[in-house]
Amino acid sequence: MSEHRPKPMAFEAPIADLEEKIESLKALSEQGEMNLTDEIANIESRAHELKKDIYSNLSPADIIQIARHPDRPNSLFLANTIFDQFLELHGDRLYKDDPSIVSGVATMGKQRLVFIGHQKGSNTKENLYRNFGMPHPEGYRKALRMMRLADKFSLPIVSFIDTPGAYPGLEAEQRGQAEAIATNLKYMVTVSVPIVSFVIGEGGSGGALGIGVANRLYMLQHAVYSVISPEGCASILFKDASKAPFAAENLKITAKDIVELGIADGILDEPLGGAHYDPEVMAQTIKATIERDLNALGKQSPESLKAERYTKFRQFGAFE
Amino acid sequence: MSILGWFAKRDRIVSRKKAGEQSRLNIPSDLWVKCFSCDATLYLKELEHNHKVCSECQYHFRLSPEERLAYFFDPESFVEHYDDIKPTDFLNFTDTHSYESRIVASQKKTQRADAAVVGTAKIEGLSVNVGLMDFAFMGGSMGCVVGEKIALITEMAIENKHPLVVFTSSGGARMQEGIMSLMQMAKTSGALAKLSEACIPYICVLCDPTTGGTSASFGMLGDVTLAEPGALISFAGPRVIEQTIRQKLPPGFQRAEFLLENGMVDRVVHRKEMRSTVAGLVRVLGGGQ
């Protein structure tokens, strides 16, 4: 484990207890009163087993907590870590720059690309600035501008999805939130360059899909992707927001579910406990996937990339 | 009455008595109905003759797909397609009821398999492909069947070169179909992208209500977008917004006229003008011969 020691979530309490014991034994041992090396090693291995056990039996409600963890690596951190150079580009040229979507051009070795991602903050101040990663229409229109740029200069598109949803606000409605998302969905089907998307945290409904109509879609292990937040679903269908954990089960929103339903193409393993325990390692995992996929997709013709993306989304559906 | 007064009064009355009134409209033994908006007592036969628009305040009652076909399209011209596609509870979704039982109840109530009806029809003699949504079927929500039917009728338009006319009425994506319902947004938008490439016109008429995943996909992608007067058209519903921003929304917010003012729709069209408006657009934009 790296130096990151995030605040434990409710389901991590037993681990935190053991770790506390280890710390106090270590302190005792250092005072030189007793040799506790064996005991410490023993408890440490028990803690490790416990962690593996807890993290492999997470409920969807637990996973959502990891997906929304404030220390979870966000788009800007990942972009700055993964790419050799990332030049952020701003604004939709129509109204303003939306800080809840970041975008720009990047290089990664010989690979050149266009990057788009939802941006959450890691503290309250940042989150207020980033609107908690909930874009207004101008965010989607900035993303559209970037996609047009990518298509024009034959640059592949990489997008990171991490939003509770498009912002449900008065001005967002006034400026055409629905139109902005719909236009992106339609445009993404037609672009002639590869699109590779990653749900790095929260994939919240149309606000997520608005930058996620991709040739390849990956879920980080503890990311979620849903048509509606479990809280929203519970308050609409159960008239009771406390039923959110049950709604989360029913909605099938975990990485495993999304892959089983055929929506995502794979899961990227996270460091034990979640990406926030070792953001650097997470970044390298994502980087390797981007390199591999852009390499493979780069060999396809523009027509076949477009046709493949159309067919992929055209066949989604279950009916009799 | 000013337009704002119209909304204020209507919202008040609608919220007071939304529960039972509209269903009474469908009961033939009811000779009189009260207008949702102005409370006027209306003779049912006259209301139907009036395309279910209140003669006092012009409030537009919600219509079934059959009523829309009867009011706006040439008699006997509609041929339904893809009516054999049925929904399935592939997630075993349960809230207060199982999704399966909700499907059965809605099918019984509406006598159709799901919330969309699609086919070919004529309007003032012009051939068009038509999509209609039924709000009475689980709030017109878009699950896989609705998405598939809209995609199929769009693809058929590319083949038969008929302009596509869709009347929306939908609360958005169908939660009971989880992420798969979200994907219908990309699927329908993708089909419309192909229609655009083929230069076939798409006219979308937004009817009360059109929200969420439906407005954020095929609802807002028309070459020309029309709306019925007073229709609620939004991405997020008013209740969600009020909870988010913790303030009351202004009267008329997210109604068709508000969208017109903000540049989001081309025209707000009274029902008695709908047929001639759609036909006029088809004539100018081409196709439909």
Residue A1 has pLDDT above 50, yes or no: no
Residue-level pLDDT at A2: 42
Give the number of other Cβ atoms within 10 Å of residue B121's Cβ.
21
Q: Which residues pair with A105 in a beta bridge?
A: A87, A114
Whether the bond between B209 and the residue before it is cis, its omega within 30 degrees of 0, is yes
Mean pLDDT of A170-190: 97
* pLDDT per position as a tens digit, B109-166: 999 999 999 999 999 999 999 999 999 999 999 999 999 999 999 999 999 999 999 9
Q: What gap in Å lies between CA B57 and CA A29, rounded to an integer?
A: 85
Residue B178 is nearest to which of A174, A227, A317, comparing CB atoms?
A227
Q: What gap in Å lies between CA A166 and CA B142, rounded to an integer?
A: 19
Residue B193 is nearest to which of A173, A186, A232, comparing CB atoms?
A186
Q: Please provide the size of chain B in residues.
A: 289
* pLDDT per position as a tens digit, A238-250: 888 899 999 999 9
Name the nearest CA neighbour of B67 among B136, B146, B150.
Answer: B136
Mean pLDDT of A130-155: 98
Residue A40 has pLDDT above 90, yes or no: no
The C-alpha of A303 sits at a distance from chain B's nearest C-alpha, in angstroms, of: 13
Q: What is the pTM of this model?
A: 0.93
Annotated domain spans of chain B: 1-61, 62-285
* pLDDT per position as a tens digit, B226-276: 999 999 999 999 988 988 888 899 999 999 999 999 999 999 999 999 999
Helical residues (DSSP H) of A31-136, grouped into ranges:
37-56, 60-67, 75-82, 124-130
Mean of the per-residue pLDDT values of chain B: 91
Contacts of A177 in chain B (CB under 8 A): 216, 235-236
- Pairing verdict, β B267-268 and A266-268: unpaired
Between the two ends of chain A, the Cα-to-Cα distance in Å is 49
Q: What gap in Å lies between CA A230 and CA A219, rounded to an integer?
A: 18
Q: What gap in Å lies between CA A254 and CA B178, rounded to an integer?
A: 11
Residue B59 has pLDDT above 70, yes or no: yes
Mean pLDDT of A287-308: 98
Give the number of other Cβ atoms within 10 Å of residue B207's Cβ.
27
Mean pLDDT of B24-44: 79
User: CATH number of B62-285: 3.40.109.10, 3.20.20.70, 3.90.226.10, 2.60.40.10?
Assistant: 3.90.226.10
Residue keyed to tokens 């099938």 = A252
Name the nearest CA neighbour of B184 among B226, B224, B140, B237.
Answer: B140
| Superfamily (CATH) of domain A64-314 | 2-enoyl-CoA Hydratase; Chain A, domain 1 (3.90.226.10)
Residue A178 is nearest to which of B85, B148, B219, comparing CB atoms?
B219
Model ipTM over 0.90: yes
Residue-level pLDDT at B6: 56
Q: What gap in Å lies between CA B226 and CA B237, rounded to an integer?
A: 20
* pLDDT per position as a tens digit, B174-193: 999 999 999 999 999 999 99
Residue-level pLDDT at A7: 78
Label residue A36 by pLDDT band (50, 70, 90): confident
Contacts of A178 in chain B (CB under 8 A): 215-216, 219-220, 233-235
Mean pLDDT of A141-146: 98
Q: What gap in Å lies between CA B198 and CA A3, rounded to an integer?
A: 57
Mean pLDDT of B69-78: 98
**The dihedral formed by the CA atoms of A82, A83, A86 and A91, expressed in degrees to the nearest 10:** -60
Contacts of B186 in chain A (CB under 8 A): 185, 188-189, 209, 213, 313, 316
Mean of the per-residue pLDDT values of chain A: 95
Residue keyed to tokens 């699109």 = A195
Name the nearest CA neighbour of A100 among A141, A147, A45.
Answer: A141
- Measured CA distances, A246 to A44, A59, A88, A249, A315 (Å): 34, 10, 40, 5, 29
Report which DSSP code applies to B146: H
Give the number of other Cβ atoms within 10 Å of residue B3's Cβ.
14
A106/B11: higher pLDDT: A106
- E strand residue ranges, chain A: 85-88, 101-108, 111-118, 157-163, 195-204, 216-220, 224-226, 266-268
Name the nearest CA neighbour of A163 among A111, A206, A215.
Answer: A206
Token pair for A129: 């600035």
Label residue B28 by pLDDT band (50, 70, 90): low
Mean pLDDT of B88-108: 95
Residue-level pLDDT at B289: 54
For A281-290, which contacts have Cβ atoms below 8 Å and span 24 or more sequence positions? A282/A73, A282/A78, A282/A220, A283/A73, A283/A77, A283/A78, A283/A81, A283/A82, A286/A78, A286/A82, A286/A198, A286/A200, A286/A220, A287/A81, A287/A82, A287/A108, A289/A196, A289/A198, A289/A218, A290/A82, A290/A108, A290/A111, A290/A158, A290/A196
